[in-house]
Amino acid sequence: MMFQMLFSPITIRQMTLKNRAIMPAMGTKFPKDNQVTQQLIDYHIARVKGGSGLNIVEVTGVHAGSIPSHYLSLAEDRFIPGMQQLTAAIHEHGGKAGVQLWQGSIAVASDPTAQVIVASDMPISPEYTIPGASKELIAELIDCFKEAARRAVEADFDCIEVHLAHNYILHSFLSGGINRRTDEYGGSLENRARFPLAVIEAMRSAMPDTMPLFMRIDAHDDYLENGLTIEEVIQFVKWAKERGVDVVDVSRGNIISSGLKYEVPPIDIPFAFNIENAARIKEETGIITMGVGRVNYPALAEEILAEGKVDLIGIGRAQLSDPEFLNKAKAGKLEDIVYCVGCNQGCYDACERPDIPHITCLRNPACGKEREYQLVPTTEQKKIVVAGGGMAGMEVAMTLQERGFQVILCEASEQLGGQFLLAGMAPRKQEMREAAILKGEQLQRAGVEVRLNTPVTEALLKELNPEIVINAVGAQPLQPKILGIENEQVYNYVDILQNKPQLTGKTIVIGGGLVGLEVAETIAETGGAVTVIEMTDEIAKDLGSTRKITVMEQLYIDNVTTMTDTTCTSITDQGVQVMKDGKEMLLECDHVVVAIGSQSRDFKAIEDYCNAQGLDYYVIGDALEPRRALEATAEGAALARSI
């Protein structure tokens, strides 16, 4: 068997897990009114069937007044039946179920009806300060955690995890970077640990001796003055172990600083970035330890476990992008895995954006739609031509092929991947390039006929005679009407990312969105001096918060200058003429790169031909409107199921 350590069993108290792969608790926005939904059950079942050793059900509130409506709750007995349905479904399919108990402190503020509880006084404005939790409230919360643990036992969970990280209330008390109390709950580590340890004791008293207690904790605090050190965390873990904690789940990050980037680490953060911290905690405490953080490949998980650095591995987003990740790894079918690329577009960004109803995944649009997206074989063997081999085109082609249609995918260039392939040329984004190439290989193994260097023309359609044509030809760089844009020293973003010319001297990048900033980084890597100008009031407006942190930090390291509210009016041999604050000025430079976005490619002639011939014609992805890859793959997946 491949990956012997990853797929070896482990027993903790009287819970035996079939392997070392844990699906950690991740917020989904699937619950409604704090209750389990069928959507949440289906999502967990898919990962249990896919081989997950233990599914830890997402953050579950313990205190009735402070739980946003799209989070689960075990604050009252009325929530037990729904949780029992969830655990029964997980058990029925051979899995184990844990639940993560939590009080969210300032993280609940997204719901204006939820009570915000803080460790110590927190000024919000000159007029208002949120008072630190009273001793009466602390006692109440201890009881809330205890009662929630009792309900978790009644709901047939196999283990419980207490959340002691990420700015939530227990971390807020433990961390000297957040807790500024002057009573017996503040000051020394012993005082700051008093409330969290009381919670652990209370929870343990409500659990049978046979049931394991996990604890999620930050390895140390990032970007927080006087924050937790790893030495303090090691001491606290020793105390927690004495009080009945069996497993420590070592995380990183907080939501009040740039440390957020470690909480749901994007593509910019190295693989397994937190494992050495977990290994040190394990070595110095002797506790069973779970490591998490961008362990996206089975071989990496195996290596970490085989070296004895940790005992369990949290594999979260990798199981969002491919619920069969573990089954495929166990069978040695590594080339069939759909790998997470750490884009955070469908998972973390969805939790921040009110316009996205629940988490999903750029690589797996069926995430959160497991029931309705089960593939239904076609009853009609129609021939379908897909024009364009970017992410939208590949998604629709592969899904249609799996349903039994005859699919021919035509790509005008010599390689599949489209904009995703190009995105993978930007700094720190090699994984995207690899994912695009692997998707192309998976597509061809699935039986899709792929024709490269083949633009779709009327003549080709006459030859192939399809019943359906899908336009997924994507987008091309937008060429604004600016005087001087045809000058020799002017490039577009494709020129830079694809060809990586050595631009020495000064370069002005027009456009401060993601693409413009990646262009700026690419040029700065070769030593060029770069200024980015953006006509709106904000740089990186189109990035989710975790990627924005990492990209902006790198721009700072590279000494890239950024200017907002700055509009280019013309380009001359001397530089770029701009309007800023109502004044015209010249920014001298040697090179100019235009990176203000894309426009859909012209496909009007083919559309007219399809209409004239009575062919079914559809448009998806950037060919419809340039947007993020998340929307492109989602449209491909939806269309493929509707035909």
- Domain assignment present for 181: yes
| β-sheet bridge partners, residue 617 | 469
- Give the pLDDT confidence of 486-508 residue by residue, as tens digits: 999 999 999 999 999 989 899 99
Indicate whether 506 and 545 sit together in one domain. Answer: yes
Which has the closest alpha carbon to 431: 290, 216, 265? 265
Judge whether residue 323 has pLDDT over 70.
yes
What is the C-alpha to C-alpha distance for residues 613 and 488, in angstroms, rounded to an integer?
Answer: 44
Indicate whether 300 and 332 sit together in one domain. Answer: yes
What is the C-alpha to C-alpha distance for residues 501 and 490, in angstroms, rounded to an integer?
Answer: 12
Report yes or no: 141 and 169 within 8 Å, Cβ to Cβ.
Answer: yes
- Give the pLDDT confidence of 219-269 residue by residue, as tens digits: 999 999 999 999 999 999 999 999 999 999 999 999 999 999 999 999 999
Which has the closest alpha carbon to 45: 3, 101, 85, 102? 85
Q: How far from the centroid of its chain's Cα atoms is residue 69's Cα?
A: 22
Q: What is the CATH number of the domain that holds 450?
A: 3.40.50.720
Q: Which of 352, 375, 400 is the last residue of a domain?
A: 352
Report yes or no: 117 and 66 within 8 Å, Cβ to Cβ.
Answer: yes
Catalytic residues: 168
Report yes or no: 66 and 73 within 8 Å, Cβ to Cβ.
Answer: no
| β-sheet bridge partners, residue 532 | 509, 562
Q: DSSP labels for 561-600?
A: EEESSEEEEEE-SSEEEEEETTEEEEEE-SEEEE-S-EEE
Report yes or no: 312 and 290 within 8 Å, Cβ to Cβ.
Answer: yes
Residue 562: its pLDDT value, please?
97
For CA atoms 117, 121, 124, 130, the dihedral sign is positive
Strands (DSSP E) contained in 114-205 are 122-123, 129-130, 159-164
Indicate whether 93 and 124 sit together in one domain. Answer: yes
- Domain assignment present for 61: yes
Indicate whether 29 and 52 sit together in one domain. Answer: yes
- Domain assignment present for 365: no
Strands (DSSP E) contained in 6-134 are 10-12, 15-17, 21-23, 54-61, 72-73, 97-102, 122-123, 129-130
Find the Cα–Cα–Cα–Cα dihedral 521, 522, 523, 529, rounded to 10°.
Answer: 20
Report yes or no: 512 and 564 within 8 Å, Cβ to Cβ.
Answer: yes
Domain region containing 409 = 383-477+600-642
Indicate whether 590 and 623 sit together in one domain. Answer: no
Residue 222: its pLDDT value, please?
97
Report yes or no: 345 and 544 within 8 Å, Cβ to Cβ.
Answer: yes
- Give the pLDDT confidence of 571-593 residue by residue, as tens digits: 999 999 999 999 999 999 999 99
What is the C-alpha to C-alpha distance for residues 195 and 172, in angstroms, rounded to an integer?
Answer: 10
pLDDT band, residue 1 (cuts 50/70/90): low
- Domain assignment present for 77: yes
Which has the closest alpha carbon to 105: 183, 40, 195, 32? 195
- Give the pLDDT confidence of 264-312 residue by residue, as tens digits: 999 999 999 999 999 999 999 999 999 999 999 999 999 999 999 999 9
Neighbours of 335 (CB within 10 A): 10
For the residues 205-228, what does the mean pLDDT come to? 98
Indicate whether 31 and 153 sit together in one domain. Answer: yes
Sole residue written with tokens 């509009």? 567
- Give 36's DSSP letter: -
- Domain assignment present for 12: no
Q: DSSP labels for 516-537?
A: HHHHHHHHHHTT-EEEEE-SSS
Judge whether residue 352 has pLDDT over 90.
no
Which has the closest alpha carbon to 298: 593, 66, 69, 3? 3
What is the C-alpha to C-alpha distance for residues 571 and 548, in angstroms, rounded to an integer?
Answer: 29
- Domain assignment present for 362: no
| β-sheet bridge partners, residue 289 | 248
Q: How many domains does the chain have?
A: 3
Indicate whether 566 and 612 sit together in one domain. Answer: no
What is the C-alpha to C-alpha distance for residues 21 and 342, in angstroms, rounded to an integer?
Answer: 19
Which residues, at least 6 apart from 125, have a Cβ–Cβ distance to it below 8 Å?
Answer: none
For the residues 323-328, what does the mean pLDDT come to? 98
Report yes or no: 134 and 120 within 8 Å, Cβ to Cβ.
Answer: no
Percent of the chain with pLDDT over 90: 96
Which residues, at least 6 apart from 213, have a Cβ–Cβ distance to it below 8 Å?
Answer: 159, 160, 161, 162, 200, 203, 204, 207, 244, 245, 246, 247
Residue 355: its pLDDT value, please?
86
For the residues 388-412, what does the mean pLDDT come to? 98
Strands (DSSP E) contained in 90-140 are 97-102, 122-123, 129-130
216 phi and psi, to 5 degrees? -90, 130
Percent of the chain with pLDDT over 70: 100
581 phi and psi, to 5 degrees? 55, 40
Q: What is the CATH number of the domain that holds 217?
A: 3.20.20.70
- Give the pLDDT confidence of 11-65 residue by residue, as tens digits: 999 999 999 999 999 999 999 999 999 999 999 999 999 999 999 999 999 999 9
Q: What is the CATH number of the domain that holds 527?
A: 3.50.50.60
Indicate whether 238 and 93 sit together in one domain. Answer: yes
- Domain assignment present for 370: no
Indicate whether 264 and 400 sit together in one domain. Answer: no
Indicate whether 508 and 427 sit together in one domain. Answer: no
Judge whether residue 137 has pLDDT over 90.
yes
Encode burial over 281-314: b for 16+ CB neighbours within 10 A, e otherwise: bbeebebbbbbbbbbbbbebbbbbbeeebbbbbb
Indicate whether 525 and 429 sit together in one domain. Answer: no
- Domain assignment present for 9: no
What is the C-alpha to C-alpha distance for residues 513 and 397, in angstroms, rounded to an integer?
Answer: 30
- Please name the helix (run of DSSP H) or strand (run of DSSP E) that holds residue 407, with its range, or none: strand 406-410
pLDDT band, residue 169 (cuts 50/70/90): very high
- Give 317's DSSP letter: H
Indicate whether 510 and 394 sit together in one domain. Answer: no
